Amino acid sequence: MRLNPDCVRDILLYIENAPYREIITPEEIVENVSGYNLDEIEYACEKLEEGNLINADIKTYSDGNLAIYISSISYNGHQFLENIRKDEIWDGVKNVASKIGTNSLSALSQISSSVVLSLIKAHFGLNL
């Protein structure tokens, strides 16, 4: 299955808006975030947890079923989300990722950091 970057961003935005200490499940996300099916949400949640962007308890059962319980966004997840929050920045990140042919979480994070750094430099007229 392919990782959908928009799904990743939408999941992080959803988790961020949930009340503190509320456990979130992929089923809840599917009900409240349009455009994605349960498989896409579960897969993205697994990758977000593997990438240390969310704090989640994931159980895989012998029948192949999953149980995912998300408790919060990690520190790294907050950093990434802050870099991609604005639609204009996110569109730029996706554009760069498309041009270089990668949608990995680490690449998206690095691209977003570079885009934000470039905007900061431009804002202050810096040529570092």
State how far the alpha carbon of 22 is from the alpha carbons of 17, 28, 79, in Å: 10, 12, 21
pLDDT tens for 43-56 read: 999 999 999 999 99
pLDDT of residue 128 exceeding 60, the answer is no
For the record, the structure tokens of 110 come out as: 């690095």
Angle, in degrees to the nearest 10, between helices 75-84 and 105-124: 60
pLDDT of residue 120: 84
**% pLDDT > 90, the chain:** 84
User: Which domains, ranges and CATH numbers included, belong to the chain?
Assistant: 5-74 (1.10.10.10), 81-124 (no CATH)
pLDDT tens for 54-77 read: 999 999 999 988 999 999 999 999
Please give the Cα distance from 81 to 16 (Å, whole number): 9
pTM: 0.91
